[in-house]
Amino acid sequence: MTAINWYYVFLLALVLLSYHRASLVIWTSCFLVLLIAGTKYTGVTLGMMISWLVFLALAIPLNVKAWRYRYISLPMLNFYRKVMPTMSRTERDAISAGTVTWEGDLFRGNPSWKKLLKVTPAKLTAEEQAFIDGPLETLCSMIHDWDITHNLADLPPEMWQFIKEQGFFGLIIPKQYGGKEFSAYAHSQILVKISGLSVTVSTTVAVPNSLGPAELLLHYGTEQQKQYYLPRLARGEEIPCFALTSPDAGSDAGAMTDHGVVCWDDYQGQKTLGIRLNWDKRYITLAPIATVIGLAFKLYDPDHLLGNKEDLGITCALIPRNTPGITIGRRHFPVNTPFQNGPIHGKDVFIPVDWIIGGAKKAGKGWVMLMECLASGRAITLPASAVGGAKILCYTTGAYARIRKQFNVPIARFEGVEEPLARIAAYTYIMDAARTFVTSFINLGEKPSVASAIVKYHTTELGRKVSCDSMDIHGGKGICLGPKNYLGRGYESTPIAITVEGANILTRNMIIFGQGAMRCHPYVFAELEAARLPNPEEALAAFDKVIMKHIAFGVSNVVRSLVLGLTGSLLVFAPRGKTKSYFQSMTRFCSAFALIADVSMLTLGGDLKRKESLSARLGDILSYLYLLSAVLKQYHDQGELDDDSPIVRFACKYYLFETQERFDALMKNFPNRWIGLLLRVLIFPLGLRFSPPSDKLTHNVAQLLAAPTDSRQRLSAGAFITPIKDNVIADVQDAFLKCVASEAIEKIVRSAKHDDDVTGYTSEEQAQSALERNIITEEQFDIFMQADTARRKVIAVDDFAPSELARLAVKESRNPYENSFNTPKQ
């Protein structure tokens, strides 16, 4: 074997060892064996001597710990400390909160698809299903959203009472305290069903079970606090709210000016160690009718009554509504969605220190508590609300497009309408898959902070797109509000979910990748922790242990990105079946993402935090890979049904194309143009090869919604579509089925009219003429007329007398249901 051939062997070994992420010991051993063999067969040539020198120059300092510390790890540690980003206390708390689940596997660049498919899917228990089939069905049948949003601007008293009596405010509270103790998935399913009917009702049910007093008490409260509050919250005797946002501090909690000072004062006739509070909060859901207020504030201890620190940090406390100094009761009116929401003000409010959630020992721990609860809660409430709306829109819009005709053709047959119909179907599938996937991990005890941000952002954004597409298809039917309108209020309320629990602009630009890079990257967080150790020797040892693995990880991703780009991912082992190529392409993009993320952090360092557009695109790539994983996981869990295959293919093609576009935009806008070009060669050596869904696939997906298919039923599963009186959703379905059954008969009548075999101006007159001339049978005539009547009922819109649209002025400035909660006037 010639020396040149040996170099090919060395190159092949380099590729294989890098691709499979071999350890340093294996690397050293393999090249030592190859060099010995090469020297034996080719002799001591100049090329072989150079190879030995290169090998020794790398192997000795890498494998001798003292040399590695001195010449590699220590210089890199010093460099790392210069470029690593500075973080405030709130940023550190947010990054360290929660746990890492599947998003961490994606960040490693080589996810195990078998591991993904083995994740236990979320399921309901018999008790949870019984609640959904019983009390929840009853509650949904009580909802008349037009009455709630236009006439009452609130839930009717009987609905409030039913919600409290049936335990809707205690879904997450353990049974030992009188709650339901339902799983995250059951909680999500309940909100899905309500949200499709009324955002006002779903928000009212969601908030007591979301980030707030109940959840904070469960995780951090003292036993005395739990025993007192949790049973009362579960029964609805106490109505909670949680006050975090203030005029000067929204997403930036560190800017909070609401504050408390530890001091002594009289409380109920006794000298008590407590906190003197002043605050100004707004946007607080349930505040106008709340009986107990969860409050976040900055706590100061200038007299060191609790310890040695003066600035203790953000703290959370529970405060009864009737505590002196509180002003509460006025309402905000969020885009015509009148769930109880309003400001709370506190002036010189004194509370005992025992009112801190968890007691005095939890002083200053509030932000950590909130972030850890948000890590799971953010994945439930808003995604469920978005999915609930999308399911109803999916169900009704496909039907309406088949019912509504233009030029004697159902508008579902127009390609211009097929495009938004296909998007509605695919987006709804993606949203539901993501919601189900993330709640599966929460059911297993995880608190997926990064995944919850991904799911919250993308379900609410996709929900907004579904809402807009549905409104476009419905046209005038959608914009005329009234009892017959089943999408207008939901359309109006879409900005609410976009805004709360982390505004979507912030979530995309700063949180998903900003937090994801720290928590999900296999080595970065450990490197940061090592670099912050005060002891130099301990810091160097800890950093060395991680940085060596990180270097190997980076080299591997360079090789993997290039190899997978050249081979079209065909070398990737993936689950067999129709979706194999999608798994393979995702593996390729995972390796490329790990590469470009490392290069971005290495070259930009702390400046990456300020390069929000780059960070957003990196976050998009991570998000798309996560959402694709959820789609393929759901398709697998549901038995890989052929009927759903077009929807899954549409979703996969859509996100693979969008992922490619984000990579392309990243490389075009990378601050260092030459690095951007190099990354392009490594990641897309054969160019941009992914394309969006074809017109044919779009047509196939759209027609799944515009026909009574099993796929359409699965997409709407969990929504309230029960055929009861005044349920306009059921009316749409009734008209849909009748119109489908009548289409062949309508074609006969139209053909007869074209041939002048029937007379009449209206469809009813023409059908009557066809019956009289024996062109259609009496049975066909009945089918025709039933469809025509049902169609007209659905396409009808509301109209009002001017007096009906005028809201009555409220002479007395108070909540009309205030007394039902025993809440005193302020």
Active site residues: 501
Instruction: Give dist(CA 484, CA 146) in Å, integer.
Output: 9
Sign of CA dihedral 10, 14, 20, 25: positive
Contact 449, 371 (CB under 8 A): yes
Instruction: Give dist(CA 432, CA 427) in Å, integer.
Output: 9
Instruction: Give dist(CA 744, CA 742) in Å, integer.
Output: 6
Residue 140 is given by DSSP the state H
Residue 807 is given by DSSP the state P
Beta-ladder partners of 516: none
CB proximity list for 535: less than 8 A, separation 6 or greater: none
Listed in sequence order, the DSSP H helices in 669-811 are 673-683, 695-705, 710-715, 728-754, 763-772, 778-795, 802-805
Give the CA-trace dihedral at 328, 331, 334, 338, to 10 degrees.
120
Tokens standing for residue 796: 């009808």
Backbone angles phi, psi at 222, to 5 degrees: -70, 160
Using alpha carbons only, how large is the chain's radius of gyration in Å? 31
Q: Burial-class residue 200 by CB neighbours within 10 Å (0-12, 13-18, 19+).
A: buried
Instruction: Dump the DSSP string for 333-349.
Output: -GGG---SEEEEEEEEE
Backbone angles phi, psi at 329, to 5 degrees: 130, -25
Locate the DSSP E strands across 376-503. 405-406, 409-410
Tokens standing for residue 262: 């530890």
Instruction: Give dist(CA 736, CA 234) in Å, integer.
Output: 42
C-alpha of 671 from chain center: 30
Instruction: Give dist(CA 152, CA 535) in Å, integer.
Output: 64
Half-sphere exposure for 714 (CA within 13 Å, toward CB): 20
Buried b (16+ CB within 10 A) or exposed e, 61-77: bbeeeeebbeebbbebb
Sign of CA dihedral 657, 658, 659, 664: positive
Tokens standing for residue 503: 């505004």
Tokens standing for residue 38: 């090469």
Instruction: Give dist(CA 426, CA 631) in Å, integer.
Output: 10
Q: Which amino acid is at 682?
A: L
Instruction: Give dist(CA 778, CA 770) in Å, integer.
Output: 10
Contact 484, 728 (CB under 8 A): yes
Q: Burial-class residue 793 by CB neighbours within 10 Å (0-12, 13-18, 19+).
A: middle
Tokens standing for residue 623: 């998000």
Tokens standing for residue 589: 């993009």
Distance between terminal CA atoms of the chain? 94
Backbone angles phi, psi at 308, to 5 degrees: -90, -15
C-alpha of 155 from chain center: 28
Q: Which residue has the tokens 């349930």?
A: 286
3-state secondary structure (DSSP) of residue 399: helix
Please state whether beta strands 405-406 and 409-410 pair in parallel, antiparallel, or not at all (unpaired).
Answer: antiparallel
3-state secondary structure 58-116: HHHHHHCHHHHHHHHHHHHHHHHHHHCCCCCHHHHHHHHCCECCHHHHHHCCCCCHHHH
